[in-house]
Structure 1
């Protein structure tokens, strides 16, 4: 147990310090999102509100692209929820580390529980005194959340300035969400993920050809992982 953490204020500050690696990772991606917001035809204020209320990292790009493509708001939100279903598992996994926490603190701490925050908390929380863990986690989430919103604003304002300087860049910005998606996606494409990815791609393509692109994304999000799980089980039993 870390004996230096003796008060709520110190625990919060340590949480902020532990968020520095997350901040360094979030700022460039958030700036790219701000740039994509401008490319999609939304304003800086809308981009900031988007990041402040959603705070969902990669799925924000998907949601932005869906809205830009004319998908209904209801379908876009549903697809975004499907993409973030893994977060349902984070609470039960991390709950044993917060025995006796006041119920009033749970919604705030849950809102900031991203993939990176969850991974960091899993490693660091056991060393934090039990009664001070909520304050440490709040500090960690404050750093992560602030950097995401600030990064979005930086990207949106920067791209807006570039557009004023050179309006021709507006055509290039329209491809920013798709370009970022592929830059994040391609390094993860490995031999064991090839079949699930190809299956999900074919499912999406089929629905797109039929004119149901939004439903294709939902179907691919379900079929792709199931194909991966089935393939893994068959591999182990063979």
Structure 2
């Protein structure tokens, strides 16, 4: 199921599915932001799984898989095996949480990014440069948990004890984001966002992005197949 992220639309579709699918069928939703386990008829819960493909799905191998509490463990494993046969990299989560793994990490980084931008600590260009030249390539080799193993769990514990870092306070809308939205600066589709794309061919830019992502994930697969 990959229809629009709209509760009413999904509820209606799941009602239709409940009336026609076999009881041993596995029903899989690609929802990214909705808890579909709360939307499906109770009779479908023993058949429900989520397989969240990360965008752009034709390039990024990750698919986060989670089954309903009522579905058997075997259903989740079948979905994982099918995705592996498709050349994807599935992660079978122990239980559902909105945002799964990758989107929750993305939101953490967005929160920090907007805090730094809103308070004038850096520019978007310098933020991106710092990220690209530091922990993102390191994470390709080590991930996050294994990086802590290499640095020492005691060192990470000291960072928490020293309280040298304070999380940004929650905000309803980052001011930097609101300013761009108000100006109609929505990114490459309008020709300007954090960066200025005036005079840039959008299709060529997207093609360049796709080519570079393809090269990155070829290298990533090499490291994942032969991990540290």
Range into which the TM-score falls when normalised by the shorter chain: under 0.3
Going by fraction, where is strand more abundant, 1 or 2?
2
TM-score by length of 2: 0.26
